[in-house]
């Protein structure tokens, strides 16, 4: 079936609270389970495209669902053409802006449209983008560490072949951060890369102070040490040259990324496919990263990220943090520390029994 034949018929959205293998503890609070909104875009030709949104908190799900349902009439009868729909939404929402819940909704629609195209052609999205599914190097993503509870989990990550581990810091004092980082480094050894994520919890001077204490731990990067919108603060931390600075999961569309690059705010880029504009927005971001020589890693959304990273010229890591596996028929597996995209489309089919069980 040629992609030009696909016409959008309807959109449906369902909220679930999916259990996580490891509750995610951050400096900003704990996420015990994943609040997800499952999107199904049906076409007149009988193909359904799927995607999901991660709401961070259950409080967002009802609003996201209503927003998507209100946008649905703008899609009905239109071609399943992600780029064209992106341009149309840019025009429709120009006065409002596309940040926040609206940006998430539009990104989710884009992903579902790409999924529908892949399913119609029986091809993975990576192939539609000119590449092919391939094993992508991943790092295992942890929250705040309790070394007594997490030592075995860290050892299990190494047994799965992960050669990079990320932990979250900032839940306590500098001394506590240093102790945890030293303990984790002791478990994973000198050859495994160690990243730390402060989840926007510090000021620039405090970030520099803490990174000085963490220098012996040989950090591969420090992620969002200061508030995401504080580009000058990120640049100041970067100038201290204590660890490469990673940011980007809170960029809204490629325009935010361009601002961060212009401000010299980062050594690494981490677009979130739900905030950067879906697959279409990711391609724009990847082009900016290539021009700026920025290594690109993904932020959650392992299924879609596994398709776009193979066509990202400066791709580095896929963040392995499985948010949706509990409601999928075939969750993505880790093999030798790598993840390979599934198809057709984005390769996601809902486990309807689990969707019913975890309905919000």
pTM of the model: 0.95
Q: Which residues are catalytic?
A: 168, 299
Give pLDDT, residue 1.
Answer: 43
Mean pLDDT per 10-residue interval, the chain, length 360 residues: 75 97 80 95 97 96 97 97 97 94 98 98 98 98 92 96 97 94 97 97 97 97 97 98 98 98 98 98 98 98 98 98 96 96 97 97
Q: What is the pLDDT of residues 281-317, one digit of tens each?
A: 999 999 999 999 999 999 999 999 999 999 999 999 9
CATH for the stretch 3-124:
3.30.390.10
Give pLDDT, residue 21.
Answer: 86
Give pLDDT, residue 22.
Answer: 83
Q: What is the pLDDT of residues 203-220, one digit of tens each?
A: 999 999 999 999 999 999
CATH for the stretch 127-349:
3.20.20.120
The pair of three-digit structure tokens given for residue 163, joined into one six-digit string: 């050669």
The yes-or-no answer to whether 3-124 and 127-349 have a common fold is no
Domain locations in the chain as residue ranges:
3-124, 127-349
Give the whole-angstrom CA distance, residue 129 versus residue 127: 5
Give the whole-angstrom CA distance, residue 40 versus residue 273: 17
Phi–psi pair at 36, nearest 5 degrees: -120, 150
Give pLDDT, residue 299.
Answer: 98
The pair of three-digit structure tokens given for residue 336, joined into one six-digit string: 């030798």
The pair of three-digit structure tokens given for residue 116, joined into one six-digit string: 């529908």
Do 228 and 266 form a contact (C-beta atoms < 8 A)?
no
Give pLDDT, residue 30.
Answer: 80
Give pLDDT, residue 4.
Answer: 54
User: 39-55: buried (b, 16+ CB within 10 Å) or exposed (e) per residue?
Assistant: bbbbbeeebbbbbbbbb
Distances (CA, A) of 213 to 106, 188, 216: 42, 19, 7
Q: What is the widest separation between alpha-carbon atoms in the chain?
A: 61
């Amino acid at each position: 079936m040629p992609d030009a034949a696909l016409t959008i018929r309807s959109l449906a959205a369902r909220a679930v609270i999916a259990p996580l293998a490891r509750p995610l503890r951050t400096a900003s609070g704990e996420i015990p389970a994943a609040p997800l909104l499952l999107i199904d875009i049906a076409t007149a030709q009988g193909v359904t495209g799927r995607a999901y949104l991660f709401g961070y908190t259950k409080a967002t799900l009802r609003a996201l669902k209503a927003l998507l349902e209100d946008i649905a009439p703008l899609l009905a009868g239109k071609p399943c053409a992600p780029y064209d729909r992106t341009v149309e939404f840019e025009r429709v929402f120009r006065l409002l802006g596309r940040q926040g819940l609206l940006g998430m909704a539009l990104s989710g629609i884009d992903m579902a449209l790409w999924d529908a195209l892949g399913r119609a052609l029986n091809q993975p999205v990576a192939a539609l983008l000119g590449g092919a599914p391939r094993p992508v190097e991943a790092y295992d993503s942890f929250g705040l560490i309790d070394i007594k509870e997490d030592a075995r989990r860290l050892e299990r990550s190494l047994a799965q072949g992960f050669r990079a581990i990320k932990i979250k810091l900032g839940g306590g004092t500098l001394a506590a951060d240093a102790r945890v980082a030293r303990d984790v480094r002791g478990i994973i050894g000198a050859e495994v890369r160690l990243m730390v994520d402060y989840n926007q919890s510090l000021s620039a001077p405090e970030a520099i102070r803490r990174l000085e204490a963490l220098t012996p731990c040989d950090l591969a990067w420090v992620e969002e040490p200061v508030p995401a919108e504080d580009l000058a603060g990120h640049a100041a931390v970067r100038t201290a040259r204590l660890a490469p600075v990673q940011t980007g999961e809170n960029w809204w569309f490629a325009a935010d990324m361009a601002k961060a690059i212009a401000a010299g705010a980062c050594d690494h880029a981490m677009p979130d496919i739900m905030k950067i504009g879906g697959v279409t927005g990711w391609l724009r971001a990847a082009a900016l990263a290539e021009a700026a020589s920025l290594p690109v890693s993904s932020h959650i959304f392992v299924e879609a990220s596994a398709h776009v990273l193979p066509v990202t010229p400066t791709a580095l890591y896929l963040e392995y943090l499985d948010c949706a596996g509990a409601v999928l028929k075939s969750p993505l597996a880790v093999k030798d520390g790598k993840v390979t995209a599934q198809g057709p489309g984005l390769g996601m089919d809902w486990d309807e029994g689990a969707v019913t069980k975890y309905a919000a």
